[in-house]
């Protein structure tokens, strides 16, 4: 019989986080598709790259739960959001989404400390560091959108941004963001 090394409470919390990462992949897929049909191929490439990252996060959690004697459960996914009205709105959603994800991860970290589950606490440090990067990136993108002034019809600026962001995706890949 496999030895259970996770409390039921922590296993449940990790499973819920695994589903949130899968939901995040759906979110990025949905907004990436919207960006692509608007003609923003660079932004779409960046967002599709994030789909793979979120799936990597999901797999990382599933493997950990199973290795610790639990069961990584695949649950139904949330409905993808309606399409954003503007690129600025899209990047606002990205930032809100990542901040909420950080909040959820931090709550599990806190739970691990209270339960003295140090292996899971240690495992989650990777996610804490990752969220720091993701929030910083989302903030930077939103700042760039404000500078460009999408609402002022700055088409040249948007074109340049679209080109730049594809490069950001390459940079993210090379820093080894995908843990799978």
Which residues would be at the binding site for ligand FEO (CB under 6 A)?
21, 24, 54, 57, 98, 101, 134
Nearer Cβ to ligand FEO (55/68): 55
Q: In whole angstroms, what is the distance from residue 135 CA to residue 101 CA?
A: 10
Residue with Cβ nearer ligand FEO (139 or 154): 139
Residue 134 or 172 with smaller CB distance to ligand FEO: 134
CB of 36 to ligand FEO, least distance (A): 20
CB of 25 to ligand FEO, least distance (A): 8
Please count the other Cβ atoms lying within 10 Å of the Cβ belonging to residue 118: 10
Which among 96, 130, 124, 95 is positioned nearest to 108, based on CA atoms? Answer: 124
Smallest distance, ligand FEO to C-beta of residue 99, A: 10
From CA 138, how far away is CA 133, in angstroms rounded? 9
Residue (68 or 97) nearer to ligand FEO, CB: 97
Phi-psi region of 176 (alpha: psi -120 to 50; beta: other; left: phi over 0): left
SS3 49: helix
- Least separation in angstroms between CB 1 and ligand FEO: 32
Place of tokens 């409905």: 79
* Distance of alpha carbon 137 from alpha carbon 163, whole angstroms: 16
Residue nearest to ligand FEO (CB): 57
Q: Which is nearer to ligand FEO, 134 or 162 (CB)?
A: 134
The CB-of-153 to ligand FEO minimum distance in angstroms stands at 31
């Amino acid at each position: 019989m496999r030895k259970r090394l996770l409390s039921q409470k922590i296993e449940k919390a990790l499973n819920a986080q695994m589903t949130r990462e899968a939901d995040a992949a759906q979110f990025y897929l949905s907004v990436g598709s919207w960006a692509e049909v608007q003609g923003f191929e660079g932004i779409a490439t960046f967002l599709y790259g994030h789909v793979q990252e979120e799936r990597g996060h999901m797999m990382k959690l599933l493997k950990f739960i199973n290795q610790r004697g639990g069961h990584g459960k695949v649950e139904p996914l949330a409905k993808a959001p309606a399409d954003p009205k503007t690129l600025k709105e899209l990047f606002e959603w990205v930032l809100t989404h990542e901040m909420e994800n950080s909040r959820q991860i931090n709550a599990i970290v806190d739970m691990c400390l209270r339960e003295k589950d140090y292996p899971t606490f240690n495992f989650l440090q990777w996610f804490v560091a990752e969220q720091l990067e993701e929030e910083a990136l989302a903030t930077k993108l939103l700042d760039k959108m404000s500078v460009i002034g999408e609402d002022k019809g700055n088409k040249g600026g948007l074109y340049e941004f679209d080109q730049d962001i594809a490069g950001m995706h390459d940079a993210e890949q090379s820093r080894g963001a995908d843990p799978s």
